[in-house]
Amino acid sequence: MTTDGPALADALPALLASLGTDITGTGPDGPATITLPPARSAALLLIDGLGRELLTEHAADAPFLAGMHDAGPLTVGFPTSTPISVTSLGTGLPPGGHGTLGVRFRVDATLLDALTWTEGTDDLRERLAPEVVQPRPTLFERAAAVGVTSTVVSDRAYRGSGLTRSALRGATYRGVGALGDLAAETLTALAGPGLVYAYHADLDQLGHLRGPGSLAWRWQLRQLDHFVALLAEDLPAGSVLAVTGAHGMVGVERRHAADTHPDLRLGEPMVGGDPRARLVYTRPGSAPDVLAAWRATLGDDADVLDGTQAVDEGWFGPVDDAVRARVPDVVAVTRGTAAIVRSEGEPVLARLPGQHGSVTDAERLVPLLVHAADAATDS
């Protein structure tokens, strides 16, 4: 799988370049390919679930966002899910570089949930320290080394989480509980020179619960459009605001049951990933049979390939040697409206009408919307 143009991992390096640093992403394409106006302070607002196609389709519900200059589209890493995207944003690396290969991926013999940093009900932050699982320096750490102050503005519940420690360490964390908080903390941080990363989850949550494009989802998009318009209006002089998404989303109608279908259970594999992109770890010697069974069972609903092929074709980007053991034996990427669910292991997730993780343009393309407030000329 090849991608053209800038990636989501290039977004923060572009903002750091606008602040006058020479920090670049360390991914396969080297320096960021996005040019933003010079600024004294810069913020990236990540609206989880804001796919480029969804924004285009529902532009009438978001006239301010739709009218902003789009420096994208950006391509998010595979699988197209939040922990992968947040870690790529925070490190400037593709998944094969930072090692967060899925919502659930194998680290040693453990299937780690990268959103909650758990396996089942077990908190793994001590046994699998995030700084060890993802040891590459973050862009915030690199910024601090050259004197640039960074602030993360996000839900107070995520302070100290495994994903925060893995992807966002090196920044001052400002915990918030509502949109008013998010705006106030973002604007306060922008008043001083430096970099701000802000995160909002509700559009993604409603897309999962009600479906992308549903009435509830559209009302949430309308609220966020008004929020961004007000935020842009109050930006301090000399600051830049960029808005992007972690991924898009699609509605699913066809579900294959990975934990109950006898052919998908062949060999009793460890099934990670998420419903649109399954990472399958097999028992020794069973990979060829599992690959054949998944291909035959899923048919036209999925592309099913072995892990070596996925690496060779660049699905995860260049894969570091330290990460290679985390690559699954089988990768199943769904097409159309199909999903591969685990109704016993993931009962809530299995029922949700909105999903993401695959490589359709609806899931992997996000905008990079830019608004500059009187770009600084004396910094």
Per-residue pLDDT of the chain (379 residues; tens, 9 = 90+): 656 689 999 999 999 999 999 887 654 444 457 889 999 999 999 999 999 999 999 999 999 999 999 998 999 999 999 999 999 999 999 999 999 999 999 999 999 999 999 998 999 999 999 999 999 999 999 999 999 999 999 999 999 999 999 999 999 999 999 999 999 999 999 999 999 999 999 999 999 999 999 999 999 999 999 999 999 999 999 999 999 999 999 999 999 999 999 999 999 999 999 999 999 999 999 999 999 999 999 999 999 999 999 999 999 999 999 999 999 999 999 999 999 999 999 999 999 999 999 999 999 999 999 999 874 433 3
* Beta-sheet pairing, 172-176 with 250-251: unpaired
The whole model's pTM is what? 0.95
What is the per-residue pLDDT across 285-343, written as a single tens digit (0 to 9) for each?
999 999 999 999 999 999 999 999 999 999 999 999 999 999 999 999 999 999 999 99
Contacts of 165 (CB under 8 A, 6+ apart): 125, 129, 130, 131
Q: What would the pLDDT profile of 75-91 be if each residue is shown by its tens digit?
A: 999 999 999 999 999 99
The confidence score (pLDDT) of residue 25 equals 67
Closest by Cα among 137, 106, 110 to 123? 110
Which domains can be identified in the chain, with CATH numbers?
8-250+361-373 (3.40.720.10), 252-354 (3.30.1360.180)
Report d(CA 299, CA 265) in Å as an integer.
16
Distance in angstroms (rounded) separating the CA atoms of residues 99 and 31: 20
Alpha helices by DSSP H, listed for 242-313, are: 287-298, 307-312
Contact, 43 vs 189, CB < 8 A?
yes
| Other Cβ atoms within 10 Å of 16 Cβ, number | 26
Identify the CA nearest to 66 among candidates 170, 178, 221, 267.
Answer: 221
CB 258 within 8 A of CB 294: no
Tokens of 242: 């960029």
User: Measured between alpha carbons, how far is 224 from 254 in angstroms, rounded to an integer?
Assistant: 31
H-helix or E-strand spanning residue 276:
none
